[in-house]
Structure formats: structure tokens, C-alpha cells
Amino acid sequence: MVGANTKKKKRVALGLSGGVDSSVAAYLLKEKGYDVTAVYMKCWGDDTKGCGVEEDKMYAVQSAAHLDIKFEQLDFRKEYKEKVIQYFYDEYRAGRTPNPDVMCNKEIKFGLFFDWAVKNNFDYVSTGHYARIRGESLLKGVDASKDQSYFLYLLNRNQLKKILFPIGDLTKKEVRALAKKIGLPTQNRPDSMGICFIGEVNIRKFLEEQISPKKGKVINTIGEVIGEHDGIWYYTIGQRHGFKIKKYTGVPLYVIKKDAEKNELIVGEEKKCYSKEFDVENIHWINKPVAVKKLGVRIRHLGEVYPAGINNNHVMLEKPAFGVAPGQSAVFYLGDEVLGGGIIK
């Protein structure tokens, strides 16, 4: 029978952002013989403005055309605003420091987009993340300066079976070189920075669109009122500037605690910003460790991985970490493997 031995190509839905990483990912998938559909997710802005959104789409369309792959657009603006941006504002308003990229991956890229792909009978979902998957394990990307595994700790093993990260084994330099070699329109586009799908923004101004300034007291570690600030939501643990001090102390002062109910900032010397232990909540395990006494924990993207122990929800570091901020993610590693993570209380 004609074509009886022809193997049907596996279908991949690839999130194409308009950046160099996802466009190189699309090329690599096509080279490996996958049937690739590029999907541009519109999550922010309108048709006339929105932090370079339309420019991103233009590059995504051009890249798909250059690679001769199918192109689709999904409109997630309503859901993105409800699930990611509202969370962002609510967390800051409550005095915490949120991580919108973690929530974006959970709710949008590996939530709505992943579910759409499964419903439409795609075999795999792919993105241009610098991370790797081995079996049912999530690993750091090879390029330590670009590794994005920190943002992906909420994935589960069933999802990992259907996810492909084509550039996880490459460095950024190699990705750029490959983009140039094959003439991708995105080859010289700058790296994306800032908030997922929005880009680089002034956080203070972004917050002020929803949360108005409200004067409050700046207090030192012995309870003296020594200055004022514009609202605790504009500050994070370890921050040195942005508040006004009326009493000279002779040393730089840092935010060491925030009291949301009283709208007060507690400030102190740099050494007060270091913590050796903290609690986490909403812990999610991809692969829960069995009889492992020592893990590594990272408390910010691309931050140092601290040797640590964990007992239930209590984390104990071998050495103090600077600026452990409630609301941020604490992600647990065993070597290169991401075991899981939780939210710092």
C-alpha cells in the first residue's frame, strides 16, 4: 500500500513571541521533523498601542513566514489581566513582592495555551525557555546566565511529558549565531526584559496606575519614627532608596520589614537584611525528594543557589541570604534538577 510506512509527523504548538529564542526554537523543531504551528499569544495592549506588542506580533509573523510554518493568534488579554496583572496588584497592595513571570507561566503559557493545544490534538507544546526536560524531570538550562527554570517550578510531571524546550541545551550566544546563520528576522532583537508579555516597565509608575500613593512612617529597629514613605507597596525587602529619612544615622538604611496594616516601613543596617531561615507556603513538588538532607534553594531568578535543609514548610540556609522577600518564590534544586518550590511567607 502506498505510504503505508510513512510515519505521521508529531504536531507541536510553539509559543512564538517575536523574540529570537522562540523563533530559533521553531527552526530546531522543524529541522527535527515536527509539524510546527507557531502561536502568538496576545496578552496585552490593543491594536494601536501596548509596549511594543504589535512590533512583537510583526516579528512573530515574519519569523513564521521565513520558516514556512503555520501561524495562529490566541487572544488571552482578558484572562491575562484577571489571572496575572490582578495578582500582581493584589500582592503589592498586601505588602508582598510578587513574581508575575511564575504566574504567567502557570496561568497562560502552561495553562490556557497548553490546554488549547491539548484540545486541538497537538502532541507537544513548546516555548523558547532556557530549561531542559529529561523524562519527568525539569532541569536548569545549559546557559547559567539565561536559565529560566526558576520560573517553571509549578509545572507537573504530566505536563512535562508533553513539553519541548528546544534551546535548553544551547547558550544564548549559540542561539544568536544560529538565528544569524539561517537569516531569521529576529536575529538582532534585544532580549526581552521586565514583566511577562508586557516588557520593561517602571514598576513604580505601573503600580501607580492602580494603587495611589499613601504617606506612611519609616521606623528604625528600636521603634523611632525617622522618616516617611509613599506607600509600602512601592518598596521591597532589601531596598535602599526611595524613602525619606529625617534623622541622620551615619549608615545606609535598607527596608528590612513592611507592616501592611499600619503602612509602615521598618528600616535598618544592611546586616539586618540577611536571613538564615524562613517559611514557605503553597509548596508544589514536581519530584518530591526522598531522604535528601540537603537541597539547593534559589530565592530570586538567576540568584545564588543556597545549600539548605527543609522541614515541612521551614527552610534553613547554611549561610544567610540577602533580601528574602515575602511573595517571591523559593525554588528547590538537587543539582541541576528543579524539585519544586513555594511562596516565601
Active site residue ranges: 104, 196
> What SS3 state is found at 337?
strand
CA 41 to chain centre: 16
Q: Which residues contact 188 (CB under 8 A, 6 or more apart)?
A: none
- What residue ranges in the chain does DSSP mark as E strands? 11-15, 35-42, 70-75, 124-126, 131-134, 137-140, 163-164, 216-219, 225-229, 244-245, 254-259, 264-268, 274-285, 295-298, 305-311, 314-322, 329-334, 337-344
Report yes or no: 310 and 293 within 8 Å, Cβ to Cβ.
no
> What radius of gyration, in Å, describes the C-alpha atoms of the chain?
22
H-helix or E-strand spanning residue 56: helix 53-67
Reading the block at residue 148, the C-alpha cell is 529560566
| Torsion angles phi and psi, residue 248, rounded to 5 | -70, 130
CA 45 to chain centre: 20
Q: How far is CA 102 from CA 54, 109, 210, in A?
A: 24, 10, 21
Reading the block at residue 163, the C-alpha cell is 513539553
Q: What angle do CA 111, 145, 85 make, to 5 degrees?
A: 35
Reading the block at residue 58, the C-alpha cell is 510583526
> What SS3 state is found at 173?
helix
